[in-house]
């Protein structure tokens, strides 16, 4: 497997660090334009996990602002879990291993 394939697979997981707000767009572009099955699988995992985290964080913020401010702590907990899991996924991708997020 080429190093560019490994890098693309890893970039799909940590695109929020590399590309800022494009964290949903970058894995989608990698998924659409990549011809390598390894890269496509990692990009699909990254898209699912990042979309799920956006929904979970949005719900936590809405609940925290509407009723229970303690839900803001859940937001930070989910973000921390997301960051740790995506870094693990990126390292696995760079090593040529597959990874499935625990929540998926």
Tens digit of each residue's pLDDT (9 = 90 or more) over 9-35: 999 999 877 666 777 888 999 999 999
Contact 70, 48 (CB under 8 A): no
Q: Measure the CA angle with vertex 86, ends 96 and 99; round to 5°.
A: 40
Strands (E), the chain: none
C-alpha distances out from residue 91 to 28, 33, 59, 74, 81, Å: 20, 22, 29, 26, 16
Whole-structure pTM value:
0.86
pLDDT in tens, 39-82: 999 999 999 988 888 888 888 888 888 887 777 787 888 889 88
What DSSP state is assigned to residue 14?
S
């Amino acid at each position: 497997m080429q190093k560019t394939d490994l890098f693309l697979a890893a970039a799909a997981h940590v695109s929020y660090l590399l590309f800022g707000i494009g964290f949903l767009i970058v894995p989608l572009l990698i998924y659409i334009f990549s011809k390598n099955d390894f890269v496509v699988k990692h990009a699909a995992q990254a898209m699912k996990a990042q979309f799920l985290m956006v929904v979970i964080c949005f719900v936590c913020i809405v609940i925290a602002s509407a009723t229970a401010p303690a839900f803001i702590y859940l937001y930070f907990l989910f973000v921390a879990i997301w960051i740790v899991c995506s870094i693990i996924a990126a390292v696995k991708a760079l090593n040529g291993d597959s990874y499935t997020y625990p929540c998926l």
